[in-house]
Chains A and B, each alone.
Chain A
């Protein structure tokens, strides 16, 4: 075989190889084209996730501590001194709230387990824990644990989940070890670490015990230890307190049936330490020149197309395509829609949602957007909006908001709700807004002595009430500092 023949032979071999390779490739491509193995970098499933996220994106900016923070956080370590607490409504003392959020992740998250307790067993356990070492959190209303967890890293916005609770006691369970850890203020302290569990209850008297599979393994893991107490008992704003249930009663209190007239978790400030808070101005009126256009626009009504009518009681009605806004002379605005109409969530979000079914959090998000728009349209107040109630009757979901100043709630003629929104299906069907012009002034006033005021109340009290610091406004009281307020235990706020 000469040289050129050898080359030809090599060339033939190469051609056979190449053709064989091409054939294999073509076979594979052909087969794959039927099996649907074609990989997309962005699938319909990814789209579903992004679609849900896009709705959330519209309200995440409003979802902050002002909205879901507790009304009060207390720390107790029995051997170390008086309990200390902070008023935290409306996002006040947010670092305190931030420090306890990791507990929620472990108790209400994937690692958490819940056991419902009977009323008797739950109350007994709750009362016994109130006398020991704990971290106590009290919310302004019953909230599902998924909402309480919504500011943690394990927040799950997919839907309403967990029990509605308003008070939580986080307590030590088992001794783990003693170590030196850095306090929240940066100092190194010796401490004893414990595993933890929680007992929570709602306003109706349902009790739950929450445990976690999580066990702290390093000093930086979340654990129950002394440093929460040691950090906060030196803080400037901290309030030494005792629960009414645990308070040592003097003769006067015993004579007035203190335990029967004051709820167990009423916070009684101790000693002569005075608590100061900003003076708040609030006025309920609609000036004759009040421009209603921005408010009507908030309900997506066209002021130029609305027709108005005033009835014999002075209530002004604005009508626009099946929607009505009425404003009573007392300063309460009602929005309502007729029949299945209303304001779609798509309109509130300003986002194309197609045929999406909304999750519980989407309704909360829509209410948040609507509340901020209404607040901005009427009074650009420096008070904070907080979640004051969630009611669901099986068909309609009502979300209520109140105002807070300096960590304390504002009450208007005995009501804490300043605005509420009711949703049904994918529509906002009604809303209510009280026309109160509210703002925190630069003035600061001393809080009245809690126990002294309480003694005066007890003389005339005929039912069990929860007592707390707050602002109370009425026609006669427009510029006030904090006062001791009370709510009957049986009354749904």
Chain B
């Protein structure tokens, strides 16, 4: 065989091998991103035997592989907020667990663990406490909801609490619910990073068009680093749920998974680094919710 033909033969052979291996790699990638049909069938059968009912669609969906985001709590990052507060006439007080900004008629508290409180009058009940009374009615989408949400956003902007100066990743703030009781509203705001919401949110009470108090978790600082993370396996989490259900009294209600959702939970390091760690929430038709840390696979709440 001539040297020229040998090269043509090599090209054909290598091309075929490349295609075959590319197929294997893609197939492998697919198998990493999706559960095998047979595995899904077996798992669903095992779960059903323990009264845990999981719809196929949850397992057929592409596996979630969320990253971990981190940032550092530094005085420089806080400076934008503190400067704005000082301009607004607030006095800064270092307090255990965070910083307090005391104005003439109102007061903010920013916890080192992102706990946020705003009070404009003595003895006022915080919105998260008011909601527990069960009297508030959630509004459906519409002009009223949009308008109340905008009032909340305007308030946060006026205090320089929403800023994308340090946002390295897609950052968004959205309205989960607006509740109404008479002429008063409570807005539940949720922050999200790269499309995934932070687990807890901020509640603001709006009376006569003004924010009168607020409480909840609110991250003034945004993450600066994104890290690829080892993720827990959803099937393992569901097997942990199977064990949990098996440990319950058999007379308890039927456990049918109504939703599996993902969010970010806040964690902290003693060197003032904060972490957004992916969480996986299993919601049952009976209303029970169980949340897992999606890195360690351990129960979170």
Query: Complex: how many Å from CA A41 to CA B227?
Result: 5
Nearest CB on B from A214, distance (A): 25
A46 to B296, CA, bound (A): 9
- List, in ascending order, chain A residues with CB within 8 A of B296's CB: 44, 47-48, 51
Most chain A C-beta atoms within 10 Å of own C-beta, residue among B112, B298, B299: B298
- Of all chain A residues, the one with the shortest Cβ separation from B10 is A16
Instruction: State which of B15-23, B83-91, B173-181 sits at the interface with chain A.
Output: B15-23
Q: Which of B21, B291, B297 contacts A23 (CB 8 A)?
A: B21
Which single residue of chain B is at the shortest CB-CB distance from A349?
B113
Query: For the complex, is A19 an interface residue (Cβ under 8 Å from B)?
Result: yes
A354 near B299 (CB under 8 angstroms)?
yes
- Residues 60-95 of chain B, each 1 if its beta carbon lies under 8 Å from chain A, else 0: 000000011000000000000000000000000000
Stretch at the interface among A57-65, A122-130, A402-410, A483-491: A57-65
Q: Are A42's CB and B267's CB within 8 A?
A: no
0/1 interface trace, chain A 30-60, chain B, CB 8 Å (1 if under): 1001100001111110111011011011101
Residue in B67, B112, B227, B297 whose CB lies within 8 Å of A61: B112
A354: nearest chain-B partner, CB-CB: B299
Cβ-defined contact, B4 with A12, below 8 A: yes
Among A27, A34, A354, contact of B301 (Cβ-Cβ < 8 Å): A354
B228 & A352 in contact (Cβ 8 Å cutoff): no
- Residue A95 interfacial (CB < 8 Å): no
Q: Determine if A57 and B270 form an interchain contact, defined as CB atoms under 8 angstroms apart.
A: yes
> Is A176 part of the contact surface with B, judged by Cβ < 8 Å?
no
In whole angstroms, how far apart are the Cα atoms of A50 and B68 in the complex?
12
Are B11 and A16 in contact, with the CB atoms below 8 A? yes
**Given the complex of chains A and B, what is the CA–CA distance between A372 and B25 in angstroms?**
58
Q: CB within 8 A of B268: which of A15, A19, A44, A57?
A: A57
Smallest CB gap from B29: residue in A:
A33
Decide: B267 and A41 in contact? CB cutoff 8 A. Answer: no
The chain B residue sitting closest to A56, CB to CB, is B270
Find out whether the CB atom of B21 lies under 8 angstroms from the CB atom of A26. yes
CB of B97 within 8 Å of the partner chain: yes
B22-33 interface code vs A (CB 8 A; 1 in, 0 out) = 101100110010
Residues of A within 8 A of B8 (CB): 12
Interchain CB contact under 8 A, B265 and A9: no
**Smallest CB–CB gap between B287 and chain A, Å?**
19
A350, B116: Cα distance in complex, Å: 13
Contact of A43 among B32, B115, B230 (CB under 8 A): B230
Q: B68 contacts which chain A residues (CB < 8 A)?
A: 41-42
Q: How many interface residues does B have (CB within 8 Å)?
A: 44
Question: In this assembly, does B141 line the interface, its C-beta being within 8 Å of a C-beta of chain A?
Answer: no
- B112 and A13: CB pair below 8 A? no
Let me know if B227 and A26 touch, CB within 8 A: no
Beta-carbon contact of A33 and B25 below 8 Å: yes
Instruction: Please give the distance in Å from A56's CB to the nearest CB on chain B.
Output: 6
Task: Bits for B227-259, please: 1 = Cβ < 8 Å to A, else 0.
Answer: 111101000000000000000000000000000
Please determine whether A23 and B229 come into contact, CB atoms closer than 8 angstroms: no
List B contacts of A354 (CB < 8 A). 293, 298-301
Q: Which chain B residues lie closer than 8 Å to A351 at the CB level? A: 113
Chain B residues within 8 Å of A39, by CB: 228
**What's the Cα separation between A53 and B230 when bound, in Å?**
19
A20 contact set on B, CB distance < 8 A:
14
Q: How distant is B168 from chain A, measured CB to nearest CB, in Å?
A: 15
- Tell me the bound Cα distance from A139 to B227 in angstroms: 45
Is A19 within 8 A of B11, CB to CB? Answer: yes
- Check if A29 is an interface residue, CB within 8 A of chain B: yes
- Whether a CB of chain A sits under 8 angstroms from the CB of B295 is yes
Q: Is the interface of A mostly helix, strand, loop or mixed?
A: helix
Question: Cβ of A23 and Cβ of B18 under 8 Å apart?
Answer: yes
A46 to B277: give the CA distance in the assembly, Å. 11
Given A9-B4, A42-B230, A53-B269, A19 contacting B25 (CB threshold 8 A): no
Say yes or no: B229 contacts A42, CB within 8 Å: yes
**Min CB–CB distance A261 → chain B (angstroms):** 44
Bound-complex Cα distance A58 to B112 (A) = 9
The CB with the most chain B CB atoms within 10 A, among A22, A61, A351, A352, is that of A352
A47 touching B228 by the CB < 8 A rule? no
**Contact with B230, one of A23, A33, A44, A62 (Cβ below 8 angstroms):** A44
Interface of chain B residues 21 through 56 with chain A (CB within 8 A): 21-22, 24-25, 28-29, 32
Q: Which residues of chain A are near B7, meaning CB under 8 Å? A: 9, 12-13, 16
> Is A462 part of the contact surface with B, judged by Cβ < 8 Å?
no
Assembled-state Cα–Cα distance A29/B26 (Å): 10
- Chain A residues with CB under 8 Å of B170's CB are none
Candidates A9, A23, A46, A61; contact of B14 at CB < 8 Å: A23
> What's the nearest-Cβ distance from chain A to residue B162, in Å?
24
The listed residue (A27, A41, A355, A356) touching B21 by CB distance below 8 A is A27
A15 touching B11 in the complex, CB below 8 Å, given contacts A42-B295, A47-B293, A47-B295? yes
Give 1 or 0 for each of A154-173: 1 = CB within 8 Å of chain B CB.
Answer: 00000000000000000000
Q: Are A12 and B268 in contact (CB under 8 A)?
A: no
**Quick check: is B96 within 8 A (CB to CB) of the other chain?**
yes
Question: Bound complex: CA of A416 vs CA of B8, how far in Å?
Answer: 94
Within 8 Å CB of B96, what residues of A? 61-62, 372
Min CB distance B234 to A, Å, is: 15
Whether B118 is near chain A, meaning CB under 8 Å from some CB there, is no
**Contact indicator B299/A40 (Cβ below 8 Å):** no
Say if the beta carbon of B275 comes within 8 Å of chain A.
yes
Which residues on A sit within 8 Å (CB–CB) of B230? 40, 42-44, 47
Q: Check if A23 sits within 8 Å of B17, measured CB to CB.
A: yes
User: CA A265 – CA B11 in complex, angstroms?
Assistant: 91
A58 touches B113 (CB 8 A): yes
Q: Which residues of B contact A22 (CB under 8 A)?
A: 14, 18
Complex CA distance for A354 and B292, rounded to whole angstroms: 8
| 12 further contact pairs, Cβ within 8 A, besides A19-B11, A26-B22 | A19-B14, A42-B67, A42-B227, A42-B230, A42-B295, A51-B267, A51-B296, A53-B267, A54-B267, A57-B268, A58-B113, A351-B113
Residues of B within 8 A of A (CB): 4, 7-8, 10-11, 14-15, 17-18, 21-22, 24-25, 28-29, 32, 67-68, 96-97, 112-113, 115, 227-230, 232, 265, 267-270, 275, 277, 291, 293, 295-301
Interchain residue pairs with CB less than 8 A apart (23): A12-B11, A19-B11, A30-B21, A30-B24, A33-B25, A33-B28, A40-B228, A40-B229, A42-B68, A44-B232, A44-B297, A47-B277, A50-B269, A51-B267, A51-B298, A56-B270, A57-B268, A57-B269, A61-B97, A62-B96, A351-B113, A352-B265, A355-B299
Query: Which 8 A-B residue pairings sit nearest by Cβ, starting from the closest?
Result: A19-B14, A41-B227, A26-B21, A57-B268, A47-B295, A12-B7, A42-B229, A40-B230
